[in-house]
């Protein structure tokens, strides 16, 4: 009998980062996605706004992650309509954890690793695994295949008094370090999202620093 080839799943090999600073949080990600040994895209979005004050980074199977983004956007809107108030960052993370844990009992769980962050009753960062384990990260976190390299940079350089600009620069530096050694991370640029009480702002940084 002829062997049936398993189809390649589009994945974000990925380095994503969340950093807390005194007035908010930074989310950052590079933009490479792969299908096996093929670079499927150099411009993949890996940071998604779930509301005007909550965002999420994705790592893992792109289809699973994008489905979760759609679920979360709809559920957050439903919560606001039904309760006449905005959901907290912790509430949205708990909701996402419940969706992920529900997937555990299906044929396959959602093959993702996520960071959800925002500013509601202050800045918050939560990390979630494929079956719904949830952890609040007080300082920083990184997901994806490049996270070991990125976490080394963050451990060495992070301090509690970072400004928004300094936290963004640290995130970019950590991602660039990961890209140098991780074949699953790369792309044309680095997306950086800043979330404060004033909302969400996005900047795009070049993958390689400008030569002085």
Output Rg (C-alpha) for the chain, integer angstroms: 17
- pTM exceeds 0.85 for this model: yes
Q: Which of 12, 14, 143, 194 is catalytic?
A: 14
Which domains are seen in the chain, by residue range? 11-206 (3.60.20.10)
pLDDT, tens digit, 9 for 90 and up, residues 177-204: 999 999 999 999 999 999 999 999 999 9
pLDDT grade, residue 109 (50/70/90)? confident
Using alpha carbons, select from 49, 51, 136, 127 the residue that is nearest to residue 86: 51
Each residue's pLDDT tens digit, 23-57: 999 999 999 998 888 899 999 999 999 999 999 99
User: Could you confirm whether 14 is annotated as catalytic?
Assistant: yes
Backbone φ and ψ for 52, nearest 5 degrees, come out as -85, 5
- The residues near 210 (Cβ < 8 Å, ≥ 6 apart) are none
Alpha carbons 64 and 211: distance in angstroms, whole number: 38
Q: Could you give the 3-state DSSP secondary structure of residue 25? A: strand
């Amino acid at each position: 009998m002829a062997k049936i080839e398993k189809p390649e799943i589009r994945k974000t090999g990925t380095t994503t980062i969340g950093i807390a600073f005194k007035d908010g949080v930074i989310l950052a990600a590079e933009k490479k996605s792969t299908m096996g040994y093929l670079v499927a895209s150099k411009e993949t979005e890996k940071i998604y706004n779930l509301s005007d004050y909550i965002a999420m980074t994705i790592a893992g199977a792109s289809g699973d992650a994008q489905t979760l983004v759609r679920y979360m956007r709809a559920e957050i809107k439903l919560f606001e309509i039904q309760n006449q108030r905005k959901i907290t960052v912790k509430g949205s993370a708990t909701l996402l954890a419940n969706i992920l844990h529900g997937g555990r009992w299906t044929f396959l769980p959602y093959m993702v690793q996520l960071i959800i962050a925002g500013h509601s009753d202050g800045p918050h960062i939560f990390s979630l695994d494929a079956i719904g384990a949830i952890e609040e990260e007080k300082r920083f976190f990184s997901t994806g295949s490049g996270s070991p390299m990125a976490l080394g940079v963050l451990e060495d350089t992070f301090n509690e008094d970072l400004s928004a600009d300094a936290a963004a620069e640290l995130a970019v530096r950590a991602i660039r370090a990961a890209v140098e050694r991780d074949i699953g991370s790369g792309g044309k640029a680095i997306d950086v999202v800043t979330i404060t009480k004033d909302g969400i702002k996005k900047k795009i940084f070049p993958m390689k620093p400008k030569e002085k």
